[in-house]
Amino acid sequence: NQPTTLYEQLGGNAGISQITDDFLLNLSQDKRIVNHFAHTDIDIFRQRLIEHLCEVSGGGCHYEGASMFDAHIGLHISQADFDAVVGHLISALKQQNVSISARNALLAKLAPMYQDITYH
Ligand code: HEM
């Protein structure tokens, strides 16, 4: 059976969980941006990210966290911060052997969130 949905191409729940763990590890090692997460409960943040990626990729999950606008209010996230975070996600996708077409499909869904996440 060929995988059809983006969710399946990401490896379903197990794949998304591993992508998220790799992403968080990459993020934790980046001195440019890790300070943004100094007060973050990583276990809760991890669950939110998994739920969000599942919903965005069409996995049928219902993300119950804050909107992307509300989640990033007052954080003053710059374009450079955004690019760095997306870079860590791309690395995590590669680490989990996600195909380039699936990587680009996911990034195409996340890129428009830029407006809601940065400079406010
Ligand atoms: C495509 C880009 C991004 C996506 C999809 C994303 C997604 C999320 C999600 C789903 C949450 C959880 C919201 C909740 O708990 O209700 C969150 C929170 C957060 N994000 Fe982002 N984010 C992105 C970019 C960034 C960037 C660039 C930064 C800063 C470098 C950032 C910093 C944070 C912080 C500090 C939180 C709050 C964590 C906490 O609960 O303490 N995000 N983001």
The pLDDT tens digits for 62-113 are 999 999 999 999 999 999 999 999 999 999 999 999 999 999 999 999 999 9
What are the structural domains, with CATH classification, of the chain?
A: 6-115 (1.10.490.10)
Q: State the closest ligand 1 atom to the C-alpha of 36, by its place in the atom list counted from 1.
A: 35
CA distance 95 to 82: 20
Taking the CA of residue 64 as reference, the ligand 1 atom at the shortest distance is 16
Residue 3: predicted pLDDT: 62
Rg (CA), the chain: 14
- Ligand 1: centre distance to CA 98 (Å): 22
47 vs 115: CA distance, rounded Å:
23
- pLDDT higher than threshold 80 for residue 2: no
52 within ligand 1 shell (Cβ under 6 A): yes
ipTM of the complex: 0.98
Nearest CA to ligand 1 atom 17: 71
pLDDT tens digits, 15-65: 999 999 999 999 999 999 999 999 999 999 999 999 999 999 999 999 999
Prediction pTM value: 0.97
Q: Could you tell me what percentage of the chain is helix, strand and coil, using 3-state DSSP and rounding each to the nearest 5?
A: 65, 0, 35
